[in-house]
Amino acid sequence: MTPTVDHAAYRQGRIVWTLLLAALAAYYVVIRVVLAQPGTPLLTDAASMRNVFFLLSSGVVGVIVLFQRGVLPIQAREGLSVAYLRHVLCWALAESIGLYGMVLAFQTRQADDAHVFLVVAAALLVWLRPQPERFPPNP
């Protein structure tokens, strides 16, 4: 009988996923601490940067969906689970959306600018949470 779950990849995936989700909370704390300090905004009109980050985020979501549906193929080195690699790539891409929000908040010195990005990143990570059936062993 062949195993239906790569337990090692699943365990490692849960650890990485938890750390990336915790990183989003850390970004929020860092934003609040930094913006509590006096300073002037680096950007007076952040609309263009906000729009660029929204477009980048939309592209990231699209790439994540393509990876999840298997449209974008992934080749892993021997000994590395393809499912694990796919998940780590998608989690890193989702987490990057939170970084866009943090950069925007630092540029505008307004924490509200980061909220949408952090929430979208967290929602994507929750949607992509590790589940045993998503970690089949390599063929």
Residue that the structure tokens 């850390």 belong to: 26
Q: Identify the CA nearest to 81 among candidates 1, 26, 27, 135.
A: 135
The long-range contacts involving 63-69, CB below 8 angstroms and separated by at least 24 positions, are: 63/93, 64/90, 64/93, 64/94, 64/124, 64/128, 67/93, 68/128
pTM of the predicted structure, to 2 decimals: 0.86
Give tens-digit pLDDT for 80-134: 777 888 889 999 999 999 999 999 998 888 888 899 999 999 999 999 999 888 8
Q: What is the pLDDT of residues 100-109, one digit of tens each?
A: 999 999 888 8
Domain ranges in the chain are: 7-134
Task: Identify the weakest region by mean pLDDT among 9-13, 24-28, 39-43, 98-102.
Answer: 39-43
H helices within 70-133, ranges in order?
82-108, 112-127
- pLDDT level of residue 4 (50, 70, 90 thresholds): confident
